[in-house]
Amino acid sequence: MNKDQESQLIDFSDRCKATIWGQFVGDALCLGSHWIYDLNELKSRFPEGVAGFEAPVEGHYHFGKHPGDFTHYGDAALLLLQSVAEKGFFSPQDFGARFVGLFSSPDYHGYLDHATKGTLENFHPYADKFPDQPFHFQAGADDDQPATATRLAPVVVAHAEDDEMIRVVESATRVCQNNSRAVVYMKCHAMIIEALLGGSGLPEAVKAAASSVAGEPEFGRELSGLVETVFARLNEEVREVTLGFGQSCPIKNSFPAALHTALKFQDDPRRAFLECANAGGDNAARCAMVGTWLGARFGLNAVPQEWRERIVVHQEIEQCIDRIVRHLES
């Protein structure tokens, strides 16, 4: 039985669970190797290659965290997972309140990226001026990096059979990224996940999603053109293509680079994770996307159990995922 035939036997709930697990594993896997752009430095630090779940060394962006912890991406993703699990749906107000609560706290010592800083800068003046009025949490930072891409999985899973899913995705994006490019790319991301949850093959899902957003007045043609480039370069190595698109955070770099990795190694998900990690730069964001797509495509077999269990809060994640899936089945 080949991989495609095996995929047809995977039930919907298994795909849903793996979509979310893949996102979290991708982030945690890259904790100690995140944001190392120089591949010679990456090789020097990890002579045998990045194997995953390394401890951040002193001077690293995530120093002080431990193997099995998340980067700042995963920290925010856990908040969104908990919010969706408790509410049964995506609520910008609930997630937004959790977000500003954690990242405004003096007890949080993780990295604050541009999306986080900008969102807090937009929220606090309003909260100070109108302390008794709720904030709508649709005025995030003007940021086109991959923050939302690293946390969107539970939103799509919870709303996969909802006619309003794309509107919900836009709302989820604008909580921290009130940016047109980010919105268009997240619509594409969500459409890929939705198609995979329905049993589509990965190439078909990617092409259909890119075609759907191609007509967007802003950035649709940019994104569909990048997807065409991805398919044209599948015979090239992950590191080479990632360097070509750019190892850095902007979504126009990280999204197509992640797609290339997922498509090239869709039949070997473990290798896909590691190839992505060893391409350096913003590997945590790219691996979170790769894990999301391959989990949705192939179910929990695509997300090694030993990696899931290495995550410090794996029991909390499992409980939240089970709540979301039970809600879908009710």
135: amino acid identity, one letter: F
Domain boundaries, the chain: 3-329
Class of domain 3-329: mainly alpha
How do the pLDDT tens digits run along the chain, 330 residues long? 445 555 556 899 999 999 999 999 999 999 999 999 999 999 999 999 999 999 999 999 999 999 999 999 999 999 999 999 999 999 999 999 999 999 999 999 999 999 999 999 999 999 999 999 999 999 999 999 999 999 999 999 999 999 999 999 999 999 999 999 999 999 999 999 999 999 999 999 999 999 999 999 999 999 999 999 999 999 999 999 999 999 999 999 999 999 999 999 999 999 999 999 999 999 999 999 999 999 999 999 999 999 999 999 999 999 999 999 999 988
Cβ contacts of 303 within 8 Å, gap of 6 or more: 18, 21, 22, 25, 269, 291, 294, 295
- Say whether pTM exceeds 0.85: yes
Task: For residue 99, give both structure tokens.
Answer: 């977000």
Binding residue numbers for Mg(2+): 71, 282
Binding residue numbers: 71, 282
